[in-house]
Every structure is written in structure tokens, then in C-alpha cells.
Amino acid sequence: MPMIPAPIKDIQFLAEQLFDVEGHYKKIQQFSDIDAETFETVIDEASKFLFEYAAPLNRNADEQGCSIKDGHVTTPDGFVELYKNYCESGWGSLDGNPEYGGQGLPYWIQVVLGELNSYYCPGWSNYPGLTHGVRELLGHHARQELKDLFLPKLTTGEWTGTMCLTEPHCGTDLGMLKTSASPNGDDTYQITGTKIFITSGDHGLTDNIIHLVLARLPGGPKGTKGISLFVVPKIMDGERNNAWPASIEHKMGLNGSATCVMNFDDARGYLVGEANKGLNIMFSMMNGARLNTGIQGMAVSSASYLGALEYAKDRLQMRSLTGAKYPDKAADPIIVHPDVRRMLLTQKALSEGNRALTYFTTQQLEISRLAESEEERKYADAMVVILTPIVKAFMTETALEVTNLGIQIFGGHGYISEHGMEQLYRDAKIFTLYEGTTGIQALDLLGRKIMQFNHGSLGPIADVINDFIIENPENPYSKELQEYMLQWQDLIVKISTKSMQNMDEMGAASVDFLMYSGYVLLAYFWAQMHQSAEKGGRFGQSFYNGKIKTCEFYFKRILPRAQAHVNTMLSGSDNLMNLKDDEF
């Protein structure tokens, strides 16, 4: 990736002007002293740290990758030192509970730190990212003795964490899980089984790694109802536990991240929460991981856009179709050409729109956890439930488009590794796959979240957008946005009606419905950004002009894609299902 600092001005614009960071935290008692200046200072310092220490490692991390010898995984050169500096500088403990050594800052700041980790060095970002998730899960679900044992060192980053779900014979279908757990007669269990695709499964960054492992107890119910969750440390009671990496995956991208096959052979561990409730407990971490995966997609999109923008301003090729724009140069920079601008604006509109979606979802997540009234918490949680699969799937699918355009803008120079643009594309692909593929997220959104949980309604998300439309009739995009809101709800009714006759209709429509949902949500956020940019502020007129004009581009050139998804999802399932298996 080109060495370009992260877009702190864009981040702060959203926090300060679009989502009113100060007003948001005044409603949350424990963070009432957080203001825009504090938010910006922490984020700016994090960016400076990662630009200095993480960004220079990115290319080598991709080229060198991880290696394994005698059951020990080695990460790329510099990662050990980076991780040590990262934790000693306090970045690993930002939103951690002060009771366990954390700094007690808001989750939103932690989210932006995760964005910056992925922006500067995607292969590095998973090591602190997963540890944060393990810490949160144990904080919510483990008994006090386990919290006291693990949380202090997970909070400071002295130990890292993983989640171990997938097995060789089952991917998303965890009902087929075979890993077993046998009680030892005390408070420990023997865990036996093989897990695959385990991110950060082994490395030398820390002395200990805390694995969260799904396994079955004797006599438990079959299927997903008989799965329990265990915490299995790499080092237990001062001795090496029998949890070893058998191999590491050779991957398309994200090579700096160690992805392991893990063998648990009578490894000792502790039960977390109630027996046979493990999948429910793990979902609290999986949902967080899905949000973080979407953020990774948004971060690499931003990196690709800013790299392509810098290149487009410098690369000279041909003259503008309307005459030389830079007659003192041998040729015009390629940014003058309409098709290059189409690609750059697509990158900008999607990456910046997705950042707004990220921060809105983060705010709602904080409200769902910390608001004083139960009504506010439930209302926000209902939004998070709907938004999570969209954040995960839409933001990662569009990340592939944005990083692909980054290569295209560079031309042949984008295809070679020297400039780092092809790495961003390779790194981005996994984001559409792990923590549940796009198809899984789409079924979750349409089948479970909307049809089952919301009884065929968009719920409070529709309220929020419709309120904006009603309160801002002068906004040039309110009327069009209102039409999409009516269509969005109508699509739910039509798909639901068809699915009553044939459930394949739900599956056939789901991905198109999710992508449609993402485009409409970004239309709402771009209309908001237009509204805010018209009022101006401290970021300079050219900055605000850019937002206003990108909003126009989005509504005229990106949002029309939504109608194509409508045509596809309403075409029915027959064109997918009528072909017999032997006719492919």
C-alpha cells in the first residue's frame, strides 16, 4: 500500500458534524467528559503511531508471510516489536475495563483504532482485533474466577486470544461439530478435536494465547443445541497445554495473519457459561467480529482510494478531451479523464459512505449497551441487529470493487506488487468469506432479522431515515430517498408472500436484498453528509464541496444499481432452481 496517512479529517468530520460525538456522549454517563477534541487527539496519535511503526511493515508482511517449524509459528519480521510497542503505548487497552488495567475509553474510539490497524497493515490487524473480542466475551459470560485469571493480561495485551469454531468437515454448519470435551472431576475439562482456519492460532508475539473453543460434552443434545464453550490457554499452570498448530494455511492474501490448523489433544480448559449454551455465547463475539470484518473492508477501501487518488494526480498520460489542462507538462495527469474520475468517485463514494455506516452502527451499539433507559437500549439494539449483516457483507463486497478499481487506475503498475494495490485486493477477498459468507449474512438479514425478529418490518431503521426525510424536506435528495424507503418495505412484502409458497424464493432474493439495503443506507448517509457540508465548518470549503459533489455522484451513478437488484430479486427462484444437477 502507498505510504499515505489515514484520512483523519474525514473521520473527524463524521464524528463531529454528522454524528455529534459530544452530544452522543453527554447522554452516556460514564463518557460524558469525552469531547470532539479528545476524540480527535486520541485518533490522531494512533494514526501517527501506526504510520510510523505498522505501515512500513505492510509490504514485507505480505511477501514474507508466516512460517511454522516444530509446532511454533513465526510472524513476519517486525511484528513482535510492533506488538510490544503497541501494547506498551497503551493502544491495546483503550476501551478496556479499568478494573483489569484498561483505560476505559469508549468503544467508538476502539473501532476507529481497528480501522487504522487495517488501513496501515491489514495482515497485522487481526492480532489485537481478535484479542479484543475474546476479552469482551469473557467479560460478559465467564465466571469471576476466569475473569480474574484471564482479563488482566488480555486487557493489556500481554496475552492474545482466538476463537476456534470451524472444523475440517463443517464450515458454517456448526451442528456437525465433533470436537469433544470430557470433565476431569474438578473445574477443568479435556478438549479433543481439530479446528481449521484459526486466525492468530499461534505466533510469538506473546507468551500465552487464550483459545475459545466450541466442543460437545458427553450426553449433550445433538446439533447446535449441544455445543458448549471452553477457554483453553496455550500455557496453563505454567506448562505447555496440548493445543498445537499442525500447519498454517497458504493463502491468497492477508499473509501476515497466521491462519492455523489447531489440534487439541486432551488439552485442558474451563467451561465458559452454561453447558450446551456455547453457540449462543459465542455469537456475542461473532457479531462483534462481523462488525470488525466490515470495518476491515472499509479500511482497505479507503487505503486503495487514497493511493489511487495520489497516483492519478501524478501520473501523466494523454491530454484532456477538452484540451490541455496542464499545458506546462508533457501530458495531463490522468485525473482529468472522465473514466478515471468515475473510478475515483466510486471509490470515494463507497469508502466514505461505508465509514458513515460503520460509525452510525457503532453509536447504536454503544447506546444499546449504555443508555440509561431500557427503551433506548432496546431501540438501538433492534437497529444493530439489522445493521450487522449489512455492515459485514455489503462493506466487504464493495471493498472488492473499490480495491479492484484501485488496481485499474494504476493500470499495469497496479497489477505488479511494487505499488501495493494488488495486495489490498487480495487482502480484501477474505473479508467476504470469514465470519460467515455474504450468502450467510444475506439469509440472516432477510430470513431471521427482518422476517422472523421484526415480523416483516425494517423496524427503527425505517423510523430514523423517515424522520430525516420529514425533518429535511429542503434536502435535494429527500424525495428520492423517500421513494426508496417505500420500495424497500414493499420488497419485503413481495418476497415474504412468494416465500410462503416456496422458501427457495427467500434464498434466491437474499443477496440482492442485502446489497439493495446497503445502497439505500448509503444514500441516507450521503444525504446527511450533503446536509452537513452545506452548513460548512472548520475543515475548509474545498473539503465540503467534495462531499456535496460526491453525494450528487452517488445518487446519479451508484444508487441506480439498487433498481437492478430489485429486478433480479423479483425475477424468482425458477431461473436458479430449474436446472437439474446433471445439467450444469
Q: Hey, which residues are catalytic here?
A: 435
Bridging pattern class, strands 180-183 and 189-199: antiparallel
Task: At 8, list the grid cell.
Answer: 483523519
Angle ∠(128,518,295) on CA atoms, nearest 5: 10
Q: Where are the beta strands (DSSP E) in 46-164?
A: 67-69, 72-74, 159-164
Distance CA 478, CA 460 (A): 18
Distance CA 539, CA 359 (A): 19
Distance CA 218, CA 125 (A): 37
Distance CA 128, CA 11 (A): 21
- Three-class secondary structure of residue 52 per DSSP: helix
Bridging pattern class, strands 235-236 and 72-74: unpaired
In this structure, what DSSP letter does residue 316 have?
B
From 119, 420, 161, 168, select the one nearest 295 (Cα to Cα): 119
Task: Give me the amino acid identity at 391.
Answer: V
Contact 12, 116 (CB under 8 A): no
291 Cβ contact partners less than 8 Å away, ≥ 6 residues apart: 111, 358, 361, 362, 365, 388, 391, 392
Task: At 537, list the grid cell.
Answer: 465548518
Task: At 384, list the grid cell.
Answer: 444493530
Distance CA 519, CA 515 (A): 6
What φ, ψ does residue 312 adopt, rounded to 5°?
-65, -30
From 191, 288, 193, 194, select the one nearest 231 (Cα to Cα): 191
Contact 260, 202 (CB under 8 A): yes
**Crossing angle for the helix pair 338-370 and 374-410, nearest 10 degrees?**
160
Distance CA 462, CA 483 (A): 12
Query: Which CA distances in Å does 515 have to 60, 357, 462, 502, 550?
Result: 35, 14, 17, 22, 20
Query: Which CA distances in Å does 579 have to 144, 510, 570, 575, 583?
Result: 56, 20, 18, 8, 6
Greatest alpha-carbon pair distance for the chain in Å reads 83
Query: Which CA distances in Å does 298 have to 10, 221, 252, 395, 564?
Result: 13, 40, 19, 6, 23
Task: Give me the amino acid identity at 253.
Answer: G
